[in-house]
Amino acid sequence: MGTSGFMRGLYSFSVWAVKFVSLNALWLIMNIPIVFLVLNVLAAKTADHLLINMMTIVLLIPFILFPSITAMFGIVRQWIMGNTEIKILSSFWKYYRENYRRSLLGGLIIAPLTAILMIDYFYFAGANSPLFYIFLFVGVFIFVFVMHFFSNTVHVDLKFSTTLRNSFLLSVGSPVYTIGIAASSFIIIYLSMKIASVFIFLGLGSCIAYCSFYLYYKSQSKMLEQKS
């Protein structure tokens, strides 16, 4: 019985591993131009080369990255709500098309602000200024805000402005879940960068999306319980 239970657990783990790897791979394929540019940034030897690639990435983020992340959140939402047998490819494309305009608008607002924040962050970090910590805190907050934006986009049918407002209020009003999203994402990124870099290509994006939506969904469920 113990052996059969172990085999069932191993099989279930393998099935879920394939789901996460497949979703992550699909997300990366949709972002091949950005992946290529990121690799160019890492290999940049001059400031001009670095700047050109960074600016191109910022321009592409609203049109490519945001819609694909929204589609990925749509998939993990289905998994968390119990629909684990959905077809990843067709469902991804469905969420991608349905939410493209909203994701694009979100990217057009958030990407430039994030770029400015990153410039300030690296500037003050290089200058050893205490303001570095302020920009670090703001950066973490914006990250969680963006995760809530993706979750709100696929989970509730709201006006775009309301989605932005609710994402902000959730980030401020649910500190435990905000810290949870930030901490879980940091751990996944840290483990991927420091221990198993291949995981970046196998499940980095899909795991962060899953953890972020799971905590978002828990916070939403808790608020509904308190209202009832």
Please, what is the average pLDDT of the chain?
89
Q: CA of 44: how far to CAs of 36, 40, 94, in Å? A: 12, 6, 37
Domain residues for the domain of 35 are: 2-227
Whole-angstrom CA distances from 178 to 45, 56, 146, 218 are 37, 30, 11, 12
pLDDT higher for 181 or 1? Answer: 181
CA distances from 131 to 77, 112, 120, 141, 151 (A): 37, 20, 9, 15, 31
Task: Give the pLDDT confidence score for residue 71 in this predicted structure.
Answer: 97
| pTM of the predicted structure, to 2 decimals | 0.92
Instruction: Return the number of other C-beta atoms located less than 10 Å from residue 206's C-beta.
Output: 25
Least confident of 18-32, 111-125, 132-146, 148-162: 111-125
pLDDT tens-digit profile of 170-192?
999 888 999 999 999 999 999 88
Q: Which tops the pLDDT comparison, 120 or 87?
A: 87
Number of domains within the chain = 1
pLDDT at residue 1 in the model: 47
Instruction: Give the span between the Cα atoms of 52 and 40, in whole angstroms.
Output: 10
Mean pLDDT across 104-119: 90
